[in-house]
Structure 1
């Protein structure tokens, strides 16, 4: 594959991050593919691209921050980041990422989306990232890119985005909750902490986040559980710490949001 369309980056110090950004901005190819390894705990500083990015967690779990929310990328999923969106990232575990950069016109998304990667799209991305020794004709590369661009809009969205409020008092409660998510937290408790009525709180919360408090709470609990499950902690401990009465209730919520039970999900996606 021509060098202008593919770049293999080893695990690099954080200082080299902007070097790869410069390569992305200067390249002329319609689709760019990058494979990169990150160590657990590594933080990527805030930045943006003139292209839309499809950031796929080949292995590991990543937490991405944007001005408007938090986004979890577990194995087998990708975050579609619209062009011009400032974002930073934190590696929850050792991570192997495959990123695709495409023109903003080719992806009209106006907000970040967590998408489930199909076997077909995974194979197409792998083919573009490829190996340095791989021989590939420009015709084949073009066919792969065209099919990938056609498949991306067909990917299923998963509710792993966590919108964050601009209201400082409410944002403070949200940050505290993320440190210790609990499925038993109630609207009345949060309303009392803000010193407002239940009705005012529910209206404010939806205005600030675009979703209900209950939906946000459920998503936040999954946010808290994914890194722990990725670290191999017992599911029963994760479920009870999140405030669920039993593993069955936790598994039902997990399956509804991610399409598979926690006992199989990360093991199957990262195997």
Structure 2
């Protein structure tokens, strides 16, 4: 199914509903939730998925697993999606929070085939086998570290959301503490308790995540300069250390990308 609203087929008695959707550049799916779990794959472009708990950046040819009934927002940068909407009781191993994963060639081809199904596709034969194999392939994926946590407190949430929208290397802990009417020490302690990271470490990671959409339209050197890195080499080293691949792998001109061995972390029970 392509460009079919989920609510028109959600009632169909199929554990897995595949839907492909094309979005205009810069499109935002505002806050919403699904009754089913969602496997959201970006065949092209970059997606940024927000929940109350965090922000997940989904590079090209990656996907995000979204738990059922999770309130979320998706910002699209030149994205054509292939989604699977899955009955929660058939995937008890689904992660409890959003998770970004790699999408290797086999899974990619299965998704491309599945979005051609009718909503009431036959469970016996080829279509049903593809739907079953899709779940096995998803269960074998390894989570990727393309996310930052969002604090639960309103004032800290506001600081972090604003920084994600416009990362600024010049921002300091002292400035954030002052805006929160706290001492720097108290602010840092509170921030760490809500995110698991110091403010400085959090900001450094947020800047790297912000680089992923930018790399689709700008060179590594340009992105490094825009985000305040001393040199492209410094940016490349930090990006590679955080995500396991150099930023050149996420450029618009690069297709595929190197993938390391897959470890089974999501598993069927």
TM-score between both structures, scaled by the size of structure 2:
0.83
Query: What is the Cα deviation at residue 270 of structure 1?
Result: 6.7
Correspondence for 2:263 = none
- Distance (whole Å) between structure 2 residues aligned to residue 158 and residue 165 of structure 1: 21
Q: Provide Cα deviations, 1:80-129, integer angstroms capped at 9, x if missing partner.
A: 1000001122222x211000111213143111111111222212212212
RMSD over aligned CA atoms reads: 2.5
The alpha-carbon distance between structure 1 residues 249 and 169, as it changes in their structure 2 partners (threshold 3 A), is: same
Structure 2 CA distance for partners of 1:198 and 1:130, relative to 1, 3 Å? same
**Counterpart residue number, 1:103:** 87
Contact 1:159–1:219 (Cα < 8 Å) also in 2: no
Contact 1:158 1:257 in 2 (8 A): no
- Within 2, Cα distance between the matches of 1:270 and 1:43? 26
Equivalent of 2:44, from 38, 42, 59? 59
Q: Which runs of 5+ in 2 are unaligned?
A: 258-269
Tell me which protein shows more helix as a share of its residues.
1
2:231 aligned residue (246, 249, 259):
246
Q: Is the 8 A contact 2:123 2:129 kept in 1?
A: no
Residue 136 of structure 1 and its aligned partner are, at CA, apart by 8.6
Name the SS of the counterpart of 1:148 in structure 2. Answer: helix
Q: Give ranges in structure 1 of 5+ residues lacking alignment.
A: 1-6, 11-19
Aligned equivalent of 2:250: 265
CA contact 1:9–1:36 (8 Å) conserved in 2: yes
5 Å matches for 1:1-271? 7-9=1-3, 20-92=5-77, 94-105=78-89, 106=91, 107-130=93-116, 138-183=124-169, 185-230=171-216, 232-266=217-251, 267-269=253-255
Q: Relative to structure 1, is the Cα distance of residues 47 and 172 closer, same or farther in structure 2, using a 3 angstrom cutoff?
A: closer
Deviations 1:226-251 (A, max 9, x none): 22211x22321211221211111111
Native 8 Å contact 2:122 2:128 kept in 1: no
